[in-house]
RNA sequence: UCCUCGAGAACCU
């Protein structure tokens, strides 16, 4: 079972959960860890139903594979990832019924789930619950999770205060001096964990996304100065930040610097850079870097290929873009709704509505759900092709499918009517947009 | 050997 699990885990990590399941079937006595690994696999690919079924199987099975805290923690995360916090709470109750005691991973999982929903208030309720019911104190993961929650809400200042709290309590001379101050989150100062590289990278990544590179690099330097080792995620964040601001030369320099520090650029580092090069119209370098990535044995993934498809579309090389798209399954790469939408948009932009619509059908046949962006691409393509009536058909179909048109949807149509000189229709849609509580930009 | 925190892709102007 030990050996089986190592392979199963590797398969699940690549999203090959079906194969992992098959492998477990070959194992004469799979243990809890095997089962947990498979439950985890199903959760990460979004197949919660299969995960739950497997856990039920464990419950009625023999003693060696009864679900444990880890099993339920995996389910908690599964529900949180789907945004079904209520489902996670049900799992929580089941744990109690089965006499299992939640640990800090359970609590941190729920806190992260609430943070990702933007509910910091609820996240802190879980924190309080943990402190009052358990012997465990908030750990570094919890602080990092909460920092990230504030970052998501664009309250970077509060995230920074949490970092400061961790720093204060790890410097002995300051311990006990903070008693009466009201701090973010109301933590008791003496039990703070120390920050780690993730604490810093959380802030760095947020500043990079916000285009505040000075701040990002300030924390990078502080991180290094205090003895934390930046990893590929830290550097990828910074490379992305530089690219986003158009500082492509500096991005390249940083990629070299990270290697001199012994950190190997991965597919995320490369993809961030390649994407920026394509968008800047620097096609040759984009391809050169892509080749470098492949030559170095960096494993391609869905995003890397989608970026390549997008770049080829921007170049007008739709045939080549299609070839990459077709080759993805051979490389064991999943094509998701973004991959499809990228190519659909490429076809629309080039006026090839036929292929766009065919690909849209293929997408639905694959069981992938089109989102507003997909529909917007089609609406754009049709209206640009003077098929405004067909565009409006798609527009209606969108609402029928329960997808709300967004402001980009309205922008596309309003723009078209204006270009046709049909200002009246344009205003009609503008009013509809307002009625739907959308904010014009 | 299993669970929790940080990085990259698609639509209009």
A156-199: per-residue pLDDT in tens? 999 999 999 999 876 543 334 433 445 788 887 557 899 999 99
Going by C-alpha positions, the residue among A60, A62, A71 that lies closest to residue A33 is A71
Which nucleotide has the least CA–C1' distance to A412? B12
Percent of chain A residues past pLDDT 70, beyond the cut = 96
Is the pLDDT reported for residue A398 higher than 80? yes
What the block records as the tokens of A327 is 């080759």
A291 CA to B12 C1' distance (Å): 33
pLDDT of residue A189: 59
A199 CA to B6 C1' distance (Å): 7
Which nucleotide has the least CA–C1' distance to A13? B2
pTM of the model: 0.93
Name the protein residue, with chain letter, whose CA is nearest the C1' of B6.
A202
A277 CA to B9 C1' distance (Å): 13
The C-alpha atoms of residue A122 and residue A403 are separated, in whole angstroms, by 28
pLDDT of residue A427: 94
Residue with tokens 């076809």: A347
The mean pLDDT of chain A is 94
Give tens-digit pLDDT for A343-397.
999 999 999 999 999 999 999 999 999 999 999 999 999 999 999 999 999 999 9
Output the CA torsion A61→A65→A70→A74 (10° steps). Answer: -50
DSSP string, A50-77: HHHHHHHHHHHS-GGG---HHHHHHHHH
Instruction: Determine whether the distance from the CB of A333 to the nearest atom of strand B is below 7 Å.
Output: no
DSSP string, A316-353: T-HHHHHHHHHHGGGGT----HHHHHHHHHHHHHTT-H
pLDDT of residue A348: 98
SS3 content of chain A, % helix, strand, coil (to 5): 75, 0, 25
A370 CA to B10 C1' distance (Å): 11
* Residue A400: half-sphere exposure toward Cβ, Cα within 13 Å: 6
Instruction: Determine whether the distance from the CB of A272 to the nearest atom of strand B is below 7 Å.
Output: yes
Instruction: Give the ipTM.
Output: 0.96
Q: Please name the helix (run of DSSP H) or strand (run of DSSP E) that holds residue A359, with its range, or none.
A: helix A353-365
Strand B contact residues in chain A (416-435), C-beta within 7 Å = none
Give tens-digit pLDDT for A67-120.
999 999 999 999 999 999 999 999 999 999 999 999 999 999 999 999 999 999
Indicate the pLDDT class of residue A136, thresholds 50, 70 and 90: confident
pLDDT of residue A176: 40
pLDDT of residue A1: 81
Instruction: Determine whether the distance from the CB of A236 to the nearest atom of strand B is below 7 Å.
Output: yes
Give tens-digit pLDDT for A283-308.
999 999 999 999 999 999 999 999 99
A117 CA to B8 C1' distance (Å): 22
Instruction: Determine whether the distance from the CB of A50 to the nearest atom of strand B is below 7 Å.
Output: no
Higher pLDDT: A15 or A330? It is A330
Which nucleotide has the least CA–C1' distance to A235? B7
Q: Please name the helix (run of DSSP H) or strand (run of DSSP E) that holds residue A208, with its range, or none.
A: helix A197-209
Q: Where are the alpha helices (DSSP H) in A246-336?
A: 248-260, 267-279, 283-295, 302-314, 318-327
Angle, CA A375 vertex, CA A369 and CA A380 arms, to 5°? 155
Going by C-alpha positions, the residue among A392, A397, A393, A337 that lies closest to residue A362 is A337
> What would the mean pLDDT of A26-41 be, rounded to a whole number?
94
Name the protein residue, with chain letter, whose CA is nearest the C1' of B13.
A411
């Amino acid at each position: 079972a030990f050996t089986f699990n190592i392979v199963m885990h590797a398969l699940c990590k690549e999203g090959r959960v079906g194969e992992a399941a098959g492998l477990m079937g070959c194992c004469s006595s799979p243990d809890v860890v095997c089962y947990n690994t498979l439950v985890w696999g199903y959760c990460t690919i979004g197949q919660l139903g299969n995960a739950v079924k497997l856990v039920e199987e464990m419950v009625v099975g023999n003693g060696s594979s009864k679900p444990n805290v880890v099993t339920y923690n995996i389910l908690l995360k599964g529900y949180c990832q789907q945004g079904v916090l209520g489902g996670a709470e049900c799992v929580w109750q089941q744990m109690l019924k089965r006499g299992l005691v939640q640990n800090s991973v359970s609590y941190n999982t729920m806190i992260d789930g609430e943070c990702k929903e933007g509910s910091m208030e609820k996240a802190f309720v879980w924190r309080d619950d943990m402190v009052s019911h358990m012997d465990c104190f908030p750990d570094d993961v919890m602080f990092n999770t909460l920092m990230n929650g504030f970052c998501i809400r664009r309250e970077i200042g509060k995230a920074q205060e949490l970092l400061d709290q961790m720093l204060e309590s790890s410097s002995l001379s300051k311990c006990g001096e903070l008693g009466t101050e009201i701090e973010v989150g109301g933590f008791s100062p003496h039990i703070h964990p120390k920050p780690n590289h993730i604490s810093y990278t959380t802030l760095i990544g947020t500043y990079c996304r916000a285009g505040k590179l000075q701040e990002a690099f300030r924390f990078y330097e502080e991180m290094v100065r205090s003895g934390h080792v930046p990893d590929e995620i830290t550097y990828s964040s910074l490379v992305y930040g530089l690219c986003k601001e158009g500082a492509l030369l500096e991005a390249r320099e940083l990629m070299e610097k990270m290697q001199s520090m012994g950190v190997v650029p991965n597919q995320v580092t490369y993809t961030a850079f390649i994407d920026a090069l394509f968008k800047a119209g620097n096609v040759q370098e984009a391809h050169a870097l892509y080749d470098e990535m492949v030559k170095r044995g960096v494993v391609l993934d869905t995003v890397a290929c989608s970026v390549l498809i997008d770049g080829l579309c921007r170049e007008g090389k739709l045939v080549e873009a299609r070839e990459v798209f077709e080759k993805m399954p051979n490389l064991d790469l999943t094509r998701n709704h973004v991959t499809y939408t990228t190519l659909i948009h490429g076809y629309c932009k080039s006026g090839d509505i036929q292929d766009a619509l065919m690909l849209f059908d293929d997408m639905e046949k694959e069981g992938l759900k089109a989102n507003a962006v997909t529909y917007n691409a089609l609406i754009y393509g049709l209206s640009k092709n003077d098929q405004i009536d067909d565009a409006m058909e798609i527009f209606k179909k969108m609402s029928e499918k329960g997808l709300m048109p967004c402001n980009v949807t309205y922008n596309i149509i309003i723009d078209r009517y204006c270009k046709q000189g049909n200002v009246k229709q344009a205003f009609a849609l503008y009013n509809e947009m307002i009625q739907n509580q959308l904010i014009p930009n």
